[in-house]
Structure 1
Amino acid sequence: MFNEERHFEQPIRWAMVGGGRGSQIGYSHRNAATRDGLFKLVAGAFDLDPQRCRDFGENLGVDGNRCYASYKEMFEQEAQREDGIQAVSIATPNSTHYEICKAALEANLHVVCEKPITFTTEEAEELKLIAAERNRVIGVMYGYTGFPMVQQAREMVKRGDLGEIRVVNMQFAHGFHNEEYEKNDPGLKWRVSPEVSGPTYVLGDIGTHAFYLSEVMTGLEIDRLACMRQSFIESRAPLEDNAHIMMQFKGGAVGTLWASAVNAGSMHQQKIRIVGSKASIEWWDEYPNQLRYEVQGEAPRVLERGMGYLYQDAEGVASNRVGGGHAEGYFESWANLYHRFAMAFDAANRDDQAALADIWFPGIDAGIEGVRLCEKCVESADQGAAWVEYK
């Protein structure tokens, strides 16, 4: 079971940029970060409007004098306080991630950032260098990887339960944007605007989630890929609302990824199926407490979260917050990741590099590979779905 007794002498003093009133992602960050008492929200630049920012922050219990009109003002003012912030989460539109993350690192803050962390791999590599120079940690919010059954899948692959990995099928294909809803939805409008969203829409917004899940579970590295993408809602061009990728991995395995916002009638359909020479596993985020396990020649079985037959000694498998049979979900997964971020931040603060290296969490390298995937998919699609080298 999850260890709720793990605490610091004082919680990490934490702030947010973005994630103001009405933001689902903002609430998700706050819920996850504060659940275990390892972070305390003490400041924020929640909104571009100073009055809305202050009003919202005070309603959350933040001192109004620590609700700032901009992230720049917050970083500057907090640096002058003995009790200033130590970490910040960035929940703003994509186009701002790089500059805010860079400013936070230069202010000697640890960072949790929404993805994609930057528009280009060069920018992401720069952030990695700055973080290393200052002994700061960057966490990237791939929120689905905190589910215990994702870690069980990872361990099964690692221990050879599936045999040699041959095929990985990934998809994240919802139907909520099958029409031009952005006409009346500002939250969607920026996601389909290149100057704010970046070079992709569904590939960066949801495709990278499925891709990172496959990275976590299999550890496979892409050798080359071919991508075709479409804008079925024509006004979204050049950004895609549907994309298909074929992948060849180093070592001979192959894979596909389908990312879509126009899969009419679908909720999420985020599924990862890993096919080995002996067996296959499949995980679906709408049923996150189960992992389907199919051994050739045997009846299929469904593994359940919280059960003793799972690999209890594996990192993350036993991070159950309630016994098996009860439904754990999205917020628990996020809280598990924030717990790991806190452990990593604390290890860096103590300059315990050995402990830091021993903590698994989606960090800057995960962010870099997500950006690289988007870049390479655009490169391939612009050449008529040509095969391109991944690195």
Structure 2
Amino acid sequence: MLNGEKKLARPLRWAMVGGGRLSQVGYKHRSGALHDNTAFQLVAGAFDIDADRGRDFGVHLGLDADRCYADYRELFSRERQHEEGIEVVTIATPNGTHYEITKAALEAGLHVICEKPLFFTSQQAREVKALAAQKNRIVGVTYGYSGHPMLLQMRQMIASGEIGEVRMVDMRYTHGFSASDSADKFEAQKWRVDPAVAGPSFVLGDLSTHTFYISQLVLPELKLQSLLCDRQSFIASRAPLEDNAMVMMRYHGGAVGRMWTSSVDAGSMNAQQIRVIGSKASLQWCDWLPNELRYEVQNQPSQLLHHGMAYLDQAALAEDRLGALHTEGLTDAWANIYLRCALAIDAKNRGDETALANLIYPDIDAGLEGVRWVENCVRSADSGAIWVNYE
């Protein structure tokens, strides 16, 4: 069980690019990184495209005004000259800026934790992967709920054969907050429906990459062979970007899957779910009941496994924070992602490749796969919703 004790010799000196006062995700990053106050210390940032507003925000977070910079270039340049400059940076900016900022951070010798989707193309992701290896640095990706301990329980049960041979994977991530075009008037939404800034997709990149990574987390041996994607722009002004998509998948070995992702699921508050069906049983997890894992064995009563209970696998118990009596949620999941990234950075800094290889966290390969997922979905949809080989 995690109880806030430090796992690193000292906190990593940390900065943010983006995530300012008007950001939807900035507080989630800070809540995750600073949850235990032992792995990261926020010391600098370039929080806003408006330099004055960003500086004012940083000061209200408790930072020195002279370490609240106008942009990422100034942040990286001046922090390199600082006696105790930053070691890691979070990039919480619109999609179209991730590639250039991540490259600049790595060139400056920094570890990176970046929002998803990582980049526009898998070629960009491969370039950055090579650069990170050259610079001996870590690139992590923040796939929200993937840090929840019950997903590690799901992973262990599948690996130990408790559901039998995997046959089907059923996924969804939907909400209704973009059911009308009025949502596109808000600053936090405008860029998400602008192809120049958001990239080749809206909900495929913004939502389904979260759930796709969860499927990789719980099913690390299952590899995609082909897929068919049909996407729609129910709000016509969003075209060519989709606000709804259905994806059918075939995996190597014979398993099949499907994903529904949507921001026009009217009335839905936030529905993310994965159900893995095997030859003997099924496992189901959803984000509106994140502390429970439904285990359904054919011809037996359904079971609800609860977080923090002694009957769970040690992998799940090791990352539990509150115990079975109290609920764990998104903030705790983000905290686990950030802690895993901190441990990866520490292992990389120490040259401990064995420890690094044994860590389960959303790394550059997970980011690359998220980009590949979107690329292949867009290619299928734009070719007339046809089956395409997963490239």
Q: TM-score, normalised by structure 1?
A: 0.98
Amino acid at match of 2:29: H
Contact 1:38 1:339 in 2 (8 A): yes
User: Equivalent residue for 2:78?
Assistant: 77
CA distance in 1, matches of 2:7, 2:65: 27
SS of equivalent to 1:24 = coil
Amino acid at match of 1:339: L
Contact 2:344 2:356 in 1 (8 A): yes
Deviates most, 174-183 or 200-209: 174-183
Contact 1:181 1:188 in 2 (8 A): no
Amino acid at match of 2:283: I
User: Equivalent residue for 2:66?
Assistant: 65
CA distance in 2, matches of 1:174, 1:58: 35
Map 1:245-284 onto structure 2 (within 5 A). 245-284=247-286
User: Equivalent residue for 1:90?
Assistant: 91
After superposition, the C-alpha distances for 1:220-263 in whole angstroms (9 at most, x for unaligned) are 11000000000000000000000000000011100000000111
User: Equivalent residue for 1:204?
Assistant: 205
User: Equivalent residue for 2:307?
Assistant: 305
Cα RMSD (Å) of the superposition?
A: 1.0
After superposition, the C-alpha distances for 1:206-228 in whole angstroms (9 at most, x for unaligned) are 01111111111112110000000
SS of equivalent to 1:259 = strand
SS of equivalent to 1:4 = coil
Give the length in aligned residue pairs. 389
SS of equivalent to 2:112 = strand
Contact 2:24 2:188 in 1 (8 A): no
SS of equivalent to 1:40 = strand
Stretches of structure 1 that go unaligned for 5 or more consecutive residues are: none
Contact 1:151 1:317 in 2 (8 A): no
After superposition, the C-alpha distances for 1:340-371 in whole angstroms (9 at most, x for unaligned) are 11111111111111111111100001100110
Offset of 1:317 from its aligned partner? 4.1
Contact 2:8 2:343 in 1 (8 A): no
Map 1:343-362 onto structure 2 (within 5 A). 343-362=343-362
Amino acid at match of 1:29: H
For the structure 1 residues 28 and 183, does the alpha-carbon distance in structure 2 shift closer, same or farther, using more than 3 Å as the test?
closer
Contact 2:184 2:193 in 1 (8 A): no
Map 1:149-168 onto structure 2 (within 5 A). 149-168=150-169
Amino acid at match of 2:18: G
Amino acid at match of 2:16: M
CA distance in 1, matches of 2:175, 2:53: 33
User: Equivalent residue for 2:113?
Assistant: 112
Stretches of structure 2 that go unaligned for 5 or more consecutive residues are: none
SS of equivalent to 1:187 = helix
User: Equivalent residue for 2:191?
Assistant: 190
In the alignment, is residue 145 of structure 1 matched against residue 180 of structure 2?
no
After superposition, the C-alpha distances for 1:60-98 in whole angstroms (9 at most, x for unaligned) are 111111110010011011111220000000000000000
Amino acid at match of 1:309: Y
User: Equivalent residue for 2:102?
Assistant: 101
Alignment equivalent of 1:229, drawn from 228, 231, 253: 231
User: Equivalent residue for 2:18?
Assistant: 18
User: Equivalent residue for 2:55?
Assistant: 54
CA distance in 1, matches of 2:142, 2:5: 24
After superposition, the C-alpha distances for 1:287-309 in whole angstroms (9 at most, x for unaligned) are 10000000001001111000111
CA distance in 2, matches of 1:183, 1:368: 28
CA distance in 2, matches of 1:236, 1:184: 12
Amino acid at match of 1:24: Q
CA distance in 1, matches of 2:128, 2:377: 22
Q: Which runs of 4+ in 1 moved over 4 A?
A: none
Q: TM-score, normalised by structure 2?
A: 0.98
Offset of 1:333 from its aligned partner? 0.3
Map 1:319-330 onto structure 2 (within 5 A). 319-330=319-330
CA distance in 1, matches of 2:165, 2:283: 13
Offset of 1:325 from its aligned partner? 2.8
In the alignment, is residue 238 of structure 1 matched against residue 230 of structure 2?
no
Deviates most, 289-298 or 5-14: 5-14
Contact 2:45 2:68 in 1 (8 A): yes
After superposition, the C-alpha distances for 1:78-121 in whole angstroms (9 at most, x for unaligned) are 11122000000000000000000010011110000000110000
Amino acid at match of 2:387: W
After superposition, the C-alpha distances for 1:177-203 in whole angstroms (9 at most, x for unaligned) are 111023421211110110010000000
